[in-house]
């Protein structure tokens, strides 16, 4: 199975084989071992999966047809076309560790960043849910008792979400606000 690493753009020596391609703006790529992308495609088998992965091993593209992959800044590996490997996708949740496809393990910093993003999303969603009530108040209108209760529950929820510590795992979120 092939595993060609760290493709980058390069300009090959002009020849009768590539002159037309170069004149028409075709991009050429070369691996860290000097393998030309277009030449190396011939060595991939038809019955395997081909994955493009980044420097962290995160799978960025998957295909059974190697010619459909764009390798710029990526590595290309050939893996068996098994049920387990076909579960992988390009969501950022799957990695190639040099041997096999595995579920991605996030670093503590990445988990904290995800927690901060989730916290902000929950706050934004809560604010959005009471935007009409805020508009009424800004216009000088009075809220009904039900609207005031809803606004206060939402503000309490926002306070609860704001106080969540995303540096500890697992993150314990307050129950979603039901409106």
DSSP 98-163: SSSEEE----HHHHHHHHHHHHHHHHHHHHHHTHHHHHHHHTTPPPPHHHHHHHHHHHHHHHHHHT
Q: What is the pTM of this model?
A: 0.73
**Per-residue pLDDT at 45:** 97
Q: What are phi and psi of 101, to 5 degrees?
A: -85, 130
With H, G, I as helix, E, B as strand and everything else as coil, classify residue 51.
strand
If asked whether residues 10 and 98 sit together in one domain, one would say yes
If asked whether residues 91 and 20 sit together in one domain, one would say yes
> Is residue 179 one of the residues assigned to a domain?
no
If asked whether residues 18 and 87 sit together in one domain, one would say yes
> Is residue 172 one of the residues assigned to a domain?
no
If asked whether residues 99 and 115 sit together in one domain, one would say no
> Is residue 178 one of the residues assigned to a domain?
no
Mode of pairing for the β-strands spanning 8-10 and 48-53: unpaired
If asked whether residues 79 and 150 sit together in one domain, one would say no
Nearest alpha-carbon partner for 104 in 59, 65, 161, 64: 59
If asked whether residues 69 and 148 sit together in one domain, one would say no
> Is residue 124 one of the residues assigned to a domain?
yes
**Per-residue pLDDT at 16:** 80
**Per-residue pLDDT at 179:** 63
If asked whether residues 61 and 117 sit together in one domain, one would say no
If asked whether residues 33 and 117 sit together in one domain, one would say no
If asked whether residues 51 and 126 sit together in one domain, one would say no
> Is residue 116 one of the residues assigned to a domain?
yes
Residues 6 or more apart whose CB falls under 8 angstroms from that of 104 comprise 58, 92, 93, 94, 95
If asked whether residues 18 and 75 sit together in one domain, one would say yes
Cis before 45? omega within 30:
no
Element (H, E) at 23: helix 19-23
Number of structural domains, the chain?
2
**pLDDT by residue for the chain (179 residues), tens digit each?**
899 999 999 988 888 878 888 888 889 999 999 999 999 999 999 999 999 999 999 999 999 999 999 999 999 999 999 999 999 999 999 999 999 999 999 999 999 999 999 999 999 999 999 999 999 999 999 999 999 999 999 999 999 999 999 999 899 999 988 76
Cα separation values, 146 from 79, 139, 151, Å: 59, 18, 9
- Domain of residue 136 covers 108-162
If asked whether residues 33 and 47 sit together in one domain, one would say yes
């Amino acid at each position: 199975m092939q595993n060609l690493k760290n493709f980058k753009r390069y300009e090959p020596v002009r020849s009768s084989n590539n002159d037309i391609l170069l004149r028409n703006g075709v991009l050429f790529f070369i691996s860290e071992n000097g393998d030309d992308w277009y030449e190396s495609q011939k060595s991939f088998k038809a019955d395997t999966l081909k994955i493009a992965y980044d420097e962290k091993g995160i799978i960025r593209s998957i295909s059974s047809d190697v010619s459909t992959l764009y390798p710029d800044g990526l590595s290309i590996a050939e893996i068996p076309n098994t049920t387990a490997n076909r579960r992988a996708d390009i969501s950022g949740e799957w990695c190639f560790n040099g041997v096999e496809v595995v579920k991605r393990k996030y670093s503590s910093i990445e988990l904290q960043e995800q927690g901060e993003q989730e916290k902000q999303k929950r706050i934004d969603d809560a604010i959005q849910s009471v935007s009409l009530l805020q508009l009424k108040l800004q216009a000088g209108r009075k809220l009904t008792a039900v609207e005031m209760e809803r606004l206060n529950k939402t503000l309490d929820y926002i306070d609860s979400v704001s106080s969540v510590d995303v540096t500890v795992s697992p993150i314990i979120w307050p129950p979603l606000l039901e409106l």
